[in-house]
Amino acid sequence: MSKTQLKFFTGGIVIAASMAVLMAVSFQGNMAYYVEVSEYLSAPKDAPKRNTRIRGTVVHGSIVKTPGELGAAFEMTDGTDTMRVRFHKELPDTFVNQAEVVIEGEMGADQVFEAHTLLAKCPSKYEVEIYDPAGEPA
Dihedral pair phi/psi, residue 133, rounded to 5° = -60, -20
The Cα–Cα gap between 98 and 96 comes to: 6
| Average pLDDT for the chain | 83
The whole-number average pLDDT for the span 13-39 is 78
Residue 4 confidence (pLDDT): 84
% of the chain exceeding 70 in pLDDT: 79
The whole-number average pLDDT for the span 11-23 is 86
> Given pLDDT bands bounded at 50, 70 and 90, which one contains residue 18?
confident
Residue 52 confidence (pLDDT): 85
> Given pLDDT bands bounded at 50, 70 and 90, which one contains residue 31?
low
The whole-number average pLDDT for the span 99-126 is 85
The Cα–Cα gap between 135 and 75 comes to: 40
Residue 61 confidence (pLDDT): 94
- pTM above the 0.75 mark? no
The Cα–Cα gap between 125 and 94 comes to: 9
Dihedral pair phi/psi, residue 58, rounded to 5° = -65, 125
The amino acid occupying position 88 is H
What radius of gyration, in Å, describes the C-alpha atoms of the chain? 23
Residue 124 has pLDDT above 60, yes or no: no
> Which of 101, 106, 14 minimizes the C-alpha distance to 63?
101
Helix (H, G, I), strand (E, B) or coil at 58: strand
